[in-house]
Amino acid sequence: MKKLIGDPRAVVDEAVRGVAAAHPDLLRVSLDPVYIVRADAPVSGKVGLVSGGGSGHEPLHGGFVGPGMLDGAVPGAVFTSPTPDPIVAATKAVDGGAGVLHIVKNYTGDVLNFETAAELAEAEGVRVKAVVVDDDVAVKDSLYTAGRRGVAGTVLVERLAGAAAERGDDLDAVAAIAERVNSRTRSMGVALTAPVVPHVGTPSFDIGDDAIEIGIGIHGEPGRERIPLEPVDAIVDRLLGAVIEDLPFESGDRVLLLVNGMGGTPLIELYIAFRRAAEVLAERGLELTRSLVGNYVTSLEMQGMSITLLQLDDELVELWDAPVQTVALRWGR
């Protein structure tokens, strides 16, 4: 194992200390229990948004905490769900009196622990709703999940629900936006290499020098099939074809296209893939209306990417364009 780390068991603790040192203007970090909230939390009268999950997917979720997106993020150990305690603590820390929305990727551990945390927080008087993100079209049921997995589409749910909360929507309305975004979002990924979990020390799976895994999960869970390495255009056609046919997206739809790096793939390759994806959208009559390219939901140093499409409408475009100020995603003037 070749990593820039010290004690493999301390990576999350040491990383959140780094986050605290780097971003005191944007973030406030609790070390025991571990969670991250926006510096001005709780925002009185605003619905709070909390997400979380195993670490190793950075910048998800801590990089998306700030005005216009999440109020709090709860990192578990690497590829391991956070326990209910820190979720409860983060939920209480961001409750400004208007309730809290939990945004949960569909993994069995995450769903159970967020459910328990919601019950505990409600017992303390915080109104909580939850939306479960399940955008991955690759497989139904998998190693850690009943139903479809939640993958890179989570960023879009966090962003658009966050914008809705920021404009003053109430808890039911913010939850409805999150559900709408999830229902209109589809993703699929590919891996060229395997990630190495620090406290394990060896690659999460074996893959030959010439093979790729189509439909990989963000923890390296098996996908649809293992095939020989292909030119990128053929890979994009596979991923995007499956995504388009699933919803289905239809000619005339306006879409947001996210080409997401899995961690170890250079940005230049993501743009090469984006080029082909944009061509495919044009061929299918889909209107490329908003774009995002980069490492947003990663799997440690895994090489690969995922492609996500969101079917937009006027309101979602307006929410997308609203100001956002997080470490990993920001715009607006």
Considering only residues 141, 229, 250, 313, which one is a binding residue for its own copies as defined by CB under 8 A?
229
Q: Is 57 a catalytic residue?
A: yes
Nearer to its own copies by C-beta: 115 or 301? 301
Catalytic residue among 23, 61, 102, 219: 219
Count Cα atoms within 13 angstroms, Cβ side, for 106. Answer: 21
What the block records as the tokens of 88 is: 């409860």
End-to-end CA distance of the chain: 43
Nearer to its own copies by C-beta: 99 or 189? 189
Q: Is 323 in the site for its own copies (CB under 8 A)?
A: yes
Coil, helix or strand for 254?
strand
The span from the CA of 191 to the CA of 45, in Å, is 43
Q: Is 274 in the site for its own copies (CB under 8 A)?
A: yes
From the list 100, 106, 128, the residue with the least C-alpha distance to 116 is: 128
Place of tokens 């301390």: 10
Q: Select from 111-119, 145-153, 170-178, 229-237 the region that touches its own copies (CB under 8 A).
A: 229-237
Q: Which helix (H) or strand (E) holds 212?
A: strand 211-214
Residue list 290-319, contact with its own copies (CB under 8 A): 291, 293, 295, 298, 300-301, 303-305
Residue list 192-211, contact with its own copies (CB under 8 A): 192-193, 209-210
Phi, psi torsion values for 76, nearest 5 degrees: -85, -175
Q: Is 272 in the site for its own copies (CB under 8 A)?
A: yes
Coil, helix or strand for 151?
coil
- Geometric angle at alpha carbon 214, from 237 and 224, rounded to 5°: 115
Q: Is 233 in the site for its own copies (CB under 8 A)?
A: yes
Residue list 127-186, contact with its own copies (CB under 8 A): none
Q: Is 199 a catalytic residue?
A: no
What the block records as the tokens of 180 is: 């709408």
Residues with catalytic function: 57, 219
Give contact residues for its own copies (rule: CB under 8 A): 2-6, 11-12, 14-19, 21-23, 55-56, 58-59, 63, 78, 190, 192-193, 209-210, 212, 229, 231-233, 235, 263-275, 278, 288, 291, 293, 295, 298, 300-301, 303-305, 323, 325, 330-333
